[in-house]
Amino acid sequence: MLFRNLHTLSFVKVVDVSNPERVNRAPDKTVVLLSSGNFVEQGFTVKRVQLNLYIQKKDQKMGPYSLITSYIETDKGEIEMTFDEGYKGEKMLEETAGFLTSHLGISSLILRSVIQLKSVLEKRET
């Protein structure tokens, strides 16, 4: 897990990916799931929720090996976490976004991310 201090000591960016270097660049594609900035979860105001696609490699037979991360921006910090990865076709990002929006998965994604971000912030205070 990589921590990056940004604006102030109370604002943190957490990258919870097995190898943070895999996402140390602009994503190949992004789908915004929420951007209203007024959703509150456990005292965190969620400003933005998106999925990022990072194509890791391409295989002649199997197609692209993709890493999808969830990115949640709150008033207290940001967290990017591994959501899914593998050889899952050209439309992996769109299919994942569609599944999340049609099956109430966004709220679960937000809850999981806020719990992880809250844990990191609590550890920093001790």
User: If residue 59 lies in a helix (H) or strand (E), which one and from where to where?
Assistant: strand 44-59
Pairing of strands 12-16, 77-87: parallel
pTM across the whole model:
0.85
C-alpha separations of 60 from 29, 63, 97 in Å = 21, 6, 26
31-77 pLDDT per residue, tens: 999 998 788 899 999 999 999 999 999 999 999 999 999 999 999 99
Joined together, the tokens standing for residue 81 give 């976490």
Work out the average pLDDT over 99-114.
Answer: 89
Work out the average pLDDT over 99-123.
Answer: 90
DSSP state of 35: -
pLDDT band with cut points at 50, 70 and 90 for residue 10: low
Question: In the predicted model, is pLDDT for residue 104 greater than 90?
Answer: no
Question: In the predicted model, is pLDDT for residue 9 greater than 50?
Answer: no
Work out the average pLDDT over 83-90.
Answer: 95
Separation CA 39–CA 68 (nearest Å): 23
Number of Cβ within a 10 Å radius of residue 37: 12
Task: Report the pLDDT value the prediction gives residue 36, as an integer from 0 to 100.
Answer: 82
